[in-house]
Amino acid sequence: MAVVRPFKGIRPQPELADKVASLPYDVMNREEAKEMAKGNPYSFLHVGRSEIDLDDSVDAYDPKVYETARRNLDKMIEDGILFQDAQPMFYIYRQIMDGRVQTGIVGCTSIDDYMNDIIKKHEFTRPEKEVDRINNFDYCDANTEPIFLTYKANKEINTIVNDWIKFHKPVYNFTTDDGITHIVWVIDNQDLVNKIQKIFADIDYLYIADGHHRSASSVKVGLKRREENPNYTGDEEFNFFMSVIFPDEDLFIMDYNRVVKDLNGLTKEEFLDKVKEKFAVEVYEGEGQYKPERKHTFGMYLDDTWYKLTAKEGTYDDNDPVDRLDVSILQKNLLHPILGIENPRTDKRIDFVGGIRGLGELEKRVAQDMTVAFSMYPTTIDDLISIADAGEVMPPKSTWFEPKLRSGLFVHRLY
């Protein structure tokens, strides 16, 4: 029984939407964010990564950063760059990348559903990473970025969305520099808004696809507001957080690849001999890099050579939704026992490269500062849902969703 409700969205003027919209805060560093926003006073990075407006000597987590975010958000509203809708509404957000379409409902979801596992998770969060978004949301008194949720596709919702798109003009329609098209429609028909709420109320579970830290932060800010308002009714905006909710059939997960600093004191020959104990190893004879074509196969780049690795039978439990993941197989049978990567969350010898960067990036990293790289077959959305349903968590850096939701197209006030 998922609670999904409309909200009075704060959003850009149509003619400024493409200038306001920015990549999410966590896909770039400070220097990259500053460069992206250079010469663009409308960029929402002035809210999501407000340290770009302060001297580099100011720590990215200094209270001044969050005070600046609040001032910048308020100024964007005062200057008419952003405005708030007069009544609670749902929104349709469509993204098109390389001809592939994903279309979701933008609304607010319940912090109680999060705490009661109606909204299911598949990753652990790190408290130190939560603190940054807690401060951003708390100072701004708003959810400044949406959470990326999914659900098992529902024909009624699909029909409503498709019919609305067919007969109504979008309020935004633009293509960003990376070639991704972003289209937004506003559902302002109250009867239809009520119907969407009722349909979601019959959906058992929502699943976090991307944004575990943002959702955890949103919930903690909501709980903080409850403490500050002991007579709360549960209907206040701080009891809800902004989400974009996509049907599972629309989503696309890319590979999330690994690069490792060294061979843990082994020679190349010693390393390969150990790898062959758990994997069938063959030199890749094709052109370019080796991109795995099915589960339980891996690419490995070492000493200017690509290899194909295939996990041997008995090295994983096909009945265990976590153990059978390729990221688990690689970690359990190679990264930990051979390369000594015990905790990939904290070990400085390993790094992760999203599939959007291409496998050429793995070769580049090996040439620059790493020794060996591994290309992965993507985790599937079915894997994600199976693990969440089992109450389990994925290993870190298991999923890379594309396209990323743009920030700045929607803001949800907490009052």
**Is a pLDDT exceeding 90 seen at residue 202?**
yes
Rounded-to-integer distance, Cα 355 and Cα 399, Å: 10
Task: Name the maximum alpha-carbon separation found in the chain.
Answer: 68
**Is a pLDDT exceeding 90 seen at residue 219?**
yes
Least confident of 105-114, 251-260, 392-401: 392-401
Q: Which of 221, 204, 292 is nearest to 256 (CA)?
A: 292
Rounded-to-integer distance, Cα 83 and Cα 351, Å: 41
Using 50, 70 and 90 to split pLDDT, how confident is the model at 75?
A: very high
Summarised one tens digit per residue, pLDDT across range 20-61 is: 999 999 989 999 999 999 999 999 999 999 999 999 999 999
Summarised one tens digit per residue, pLDDT across range 332-344 is: 999 999 999 999 9
388 within domain boundaries: no
Rounded-to-integer distance, Cα 81 and Cα 140, Å: 16
Provide the pLDDT for residue 241: 98
Using 50, 70 and 90 to split pLDDT, how confident is the model at 345?
A: confident
Q: Are residues 327 and 349 in the same domain?
A: yes
Q: Are residues 264 and 298 in the same domain?
A: yes
Q: Are residues 269 and 160 in the same domain?
A: no
Q: Are residues 17 and 120 in the same domain?
A: yes
23 within domain boundaries: yes
- The total number of structural domains that make up the chain: 2
Using 50, 70 and 90 to split pLDDT, how confident is the model at 228?
A: very high
Least confident of 115-119, 217-221, 299-303, 343-347: 343-347
- Percent of the chain exceeding pLDDT 90 equals 96
Using 50, 70 and 90 to split pLDDT, how confident is the model at 127?
A: confident
138 within domain boundaries: yes
Q: In this structure, what are the phi and psi dihedrals at residue 264, rounded to the nearest 5 degrees?
A: 60, 40
Query: Do 35 and 20 form a contact (C-beta atoms < 8 A)?
Result: no
**Is a pLDDT exceeding 90 seen at residue 129?**
no
Q: Which of 147, 116, 115 is nearest to 133 (CA)?
A: 147
How large is the C-alpha radius of gyration of the chain? 22
Q: In this structure, what are the phi and psi dihedrals at residue 114, rounded to the nearest 5 degrees?
A: -65, -50
Of the chain, the end-to-end C-alpha distance in Å amounts to 25
DSSP letter for each residue of 253-305: EE-EEEEES--TT--HHHHHHHHTTTEEEEE--SSS-----STTEEEEEETTE
Q: Are residues 133 and 96 in the same domain?
A: yes
390 within domain boundaries: no
Provide the pLDDT for residue 220: 98
pTM for the structure as a whole: 0.92
362 within domain boundaries: yes
Least confident of 121-130, 132-141, 180-189: 121-130
Q: Are residues 306 and 227 in the same domain?
A: no
393 within domain boundaries: no
Q: Are residues 157 and 12 in the same domain?
A: yes
Q: Are residues 351 and 372 in the same domain?
A: yes
Provide the pLDDT for residue 124: 87
Here the tokens at position 356 are: 């959007």
401: β partners: 253
Q: Are residues 222 and 279 in the same domain?
A: no
Q: Which of 382, 398, 248, 278 is nearest to 321 (CA)?
A: 382
DSSP state of 407: B
Q: Quick one: CA dihedral 363, 365, 368, 369, positive or negative?
A: negative
Location of structure tokens 């153990």: 323
| Residues 10-14, mean pLDDT to the nearest whole number | 98
391 within domain boundaries: no
- Percent of the chain exceeding pLDDT 70 equals 100
Q: Are residues 230 and 290 in the same domain?
A: no
Q: Are residues 331 and 345 in the same domain?
A: yes
Provide the pLDDT for residue 126: 84
Provide the pLDDT for residue 396: 85
Least confident of 125-129, 147-151, 355-359, 391-395: 125-129
Q: Are residues 221 and 264 in the same domain?
A: no
Provide the pLDDT for residue 314: 96
Summarised one tens digit per residue, pLDDT across range 155-185 is: 999 999 999 999 999 999 999 999 999 999 9
Using 50, 70 and 90 to split pLDDT, how confident is the model at 125?
A: confident
Parallel, antiparallel, or unpaired for β 147-151 and 240-247? Answer: parallel
Q: What is the residue range of 219's domain?
A: 4-252+402-413
Provide the pLDDT for residue 128: 85
Least confident of 151-155, 336-340, 374-378, 398-402: 398-402
125 within domain boundaries: yes
DSSP state of 404: P
Summarised one tens digit per residue, pLDDT across range 79-117 is: 999 999 999 999 999 999 999 999 999 999 999 999 999
The DSSP element (H or E) to which 184 belongs, if any, is strand 181-187
